[in-house]
Structure 1
Amino acid sequence: MKKIGYIRVSSQGQNTARQKKALKHAGCTVFYEEKISGATMERPQLKQMIEDLQPHDEVYVHEISRLSRSTKDLLEIIDQIKEKGAGLKSLSETWLDTTSDNPMNEFLLTIFSGLVQFERKTIKQRQKEGIEIAKSEGKFKGRKTKLVEGGKEEQRMKAIIEAYKAGKSINDIRTTFKVGTGTIYRLLDREGLR
């Protein structure tokens, strides 16, 4: 039986040291670590960990959000771990312990993972409402374009605006100026042309 730590952060700039220290303290000796969004199931280290699992191994996570941001994906991952004859424990959510056959754990897992997903959707909804309010007040300009003021970039920016005003299609502008569609639309939005 091995104690295995699964560590995940969403981006390259984030540090995994806090998770690793806590998992080492819990007795983990094998670690699978990756810097990738929890919104996707395409995670090489997660797949490798599940493939390497042996019966009676125990997988530890710092918190369930490290495994997945989606209830459906989380339950699928837990099923894959169980199919290997292994168990799962969370250090933050102590109720999550599939190392013993306890129906209450299954029930709590379903409820709490649903709450995690609900919370994320609520945050996104509030963010969307905030953006709509800011837009209506003229305070929201969206993500900045890659085209910046000053030098050649400013000349490019002005040329794109002129091309659009002259009736060129977005596709033509994109090809001519070698710039992404999103960047063009953000520029046009910022200039009040769309």
Structure 2
Amino acid sequence: MRTIGYIRVSSEGQNIARQKESLSDNGCTEFYIEKVSGASMERPKLNEMLEGLNIGDMIIVHEISRLSRSTKDLLTIVELIKEKGAKLKSVTDSWLDLSDDNPMSELLFTIFSGLAQFERKMNKQRQKEGIEIAKSKGKYRGRKTKLVEGGKEEQRMKAIIAAYKKGKSINDIRTTFRVGTGTIYRLLEREGLKN
């Protein structure tokens, strides 16, 4: 069992030392340090840490905003951590302590999950209404697909499908090919590999 500290700073000017000291004081002996904005989905150190997790490992962050800026992203990360049998704790956000069977943290996390799901459904509803209005005015064209057959991305598209057929996880594919999760799912649905 390892105690891992995850540190993220948005810019070179931010100080890593404060977070590292806080995490060291909480037993961290291994650190993953990221120097990117929290809004960015390109976080190679986070992905490396998540991929290398083992059952019983503990991830500690100084505060939850260092791990994620969005509720949806946070929920995805926490689910990945749980799937690996690892645990998560925040030093300053005491409500987030999934280091043991803490009923209060589980309750709060469940509430956050529900709110995030509600937020997604409301956004989808608003988007649907906006599209209908745009269609009625003849202004809706839809989104351009990132992976197109016959285009320069065809080889990449075939490689993604091959990786999925070989049993690679969606997260592994996303990281390897630097493609969004939604793009992967749409491609797999189009190929009849996912419903």
After TM superposition, the score normalised by the length of structure 1 is: 0.55
> 1:93 Cα shift?
1.1
Structure 1 or 2, whichever has the larger Rg, is 1
- The separation in 1 between residues aligned to 2:70 and 2:48, in whole angstroms, is 20
Tell me, in whole angstroms, the C-alpha distance in 1 between the residues paired with 2:111 and 2:65.
Answer: 14
Tell me the equivalent position of 2:81: 81
User: Could you tell me how far apart the structure 2 residues matched to 1:97 and 1:67 are?
Assistant: 14
2:89 counterpart SS class? strand
Runs of 4+ in 1 over 6 A off after TM superposition: 112-115
Deviation of 1:108 after TM superposition, in Å, equals: 1.5
Tell me the distance in 1 between the aligned counterparts of 2:88 and 2:101: 12
- CA deviations 1:38-72 (Å, max 9, x no partner) are 11222000000001111000000000000000000
Task: Quote the sequence identity (%).
Answer: 64
TM-score (norm 2): 0.55
1:2 aligns to 2:2 (yes or no): yes
> What are the Cα deviations for residues 15-48 of structure 1, in whole angstroms up to 9, with x where unaligned?
1110000000111000000110111222000000
Q: Which runs of 5+ in 2 are unaligned?
A: 117-195
Aligned residues: 116
Counterpart for residue 54 of structure 2: 54
In structure 1, what is the Cα distance between the partners aligned to 2:58 and 2:32?
13
Is residue 12 from structure 1 mapped to residue 9 from structure 2 by the alignment?
no
Amino acid at match of 1:36: V
2:44 is equivalent to residue 44 of structure 1: yes
